Structure formats: C-alpha cells, structure tokens
Amino acid sequence: MSLQRVRKAIEFLRKKAGLDQHLSDLKLVTDGNSIFQIAKNDGEILDALRQGQMSFFLAIDDVARSVDSKVSHYLYDREEFVSALEKVESQLAHQLDMRDRNLRAVR
C-alpha cells in the first residue's frame, strides 16, 4: 500500500472521524486495498479510505472461541457416550458369560 494512501486514511481519521487518540492507541487493519479502524462496537470497522463507510468485520478470535467451546462439548459428549457403550458392552459380556455357564451346567 502506498504511503499516499496511508496518509489519506490518517487525514480522514483525524479530520472527518474526530480522531482524538494517538495512532498507536488505535486498532488499524488492512486488506491491502484499504485501511480500517476497528470501531468501539465489536463487529464493525470504519473504512478510512472510503470516507468512513462502515464495514462488517467478524472477529476471528470470537469464532475460534466458539468453535473451541463446541469441540470441547463434543469431546465431553463423545467421552460420555463411549463410556456408556463400554459399560453396556461389559454388562452384556457378563450376561452372555453367565448364560454360557448355565448352559454348560445343564448339559
């Protein structure tokens, strides 16, 4: 991205968007074509090169936390399910063993 475009974005943020913070206090991101300021409301960004047009931005860390939580629940549910299956399998094996013993005793 050219220095001219960066200067244009900073100028817009200072003059038009009422920027009263030092640039180091801002959260700025770029996609290589524009410069965005992350707004105070999560999920929104201000496009500094398109006269402040609001853009939608999805915070990846929120998505990652959500996925991580769902995976954790899945793993817990899976562990509980496997444990219950093993218990049933053990009980069934014991019942079959007892049946086989009874059949041998009758013969």
pLDDT for 9 equals 81
8-state DSSP, 31: -
Q: Are 5 and 33 within 8 A, CB to CB?
A: no
Question: What's the per-residue H, E or C state across 37-79?
Answer: EECCCCCEEEECCCCCEEEECCCHHHHHHHHHHHHHHHHHHHH
| DSSP-based helix, strand, coil % in the chain, nearest 5 | 60, 15, 25
pLDDT for 87 equals 95
pLDDT for 57 equals 52
**Going residue by residue through the chain (107 aa), what tens digit of pLDDT does each one get?**
788 888 888 787 777 656 666 767 677 777 887 877 776 665 567 777 776 555 555 556 677 788 888 888 888 888 899 999 999 999 999 999 988 888 888 77
Q: Where are the domains of the chain?
A: 3-57, 60-107
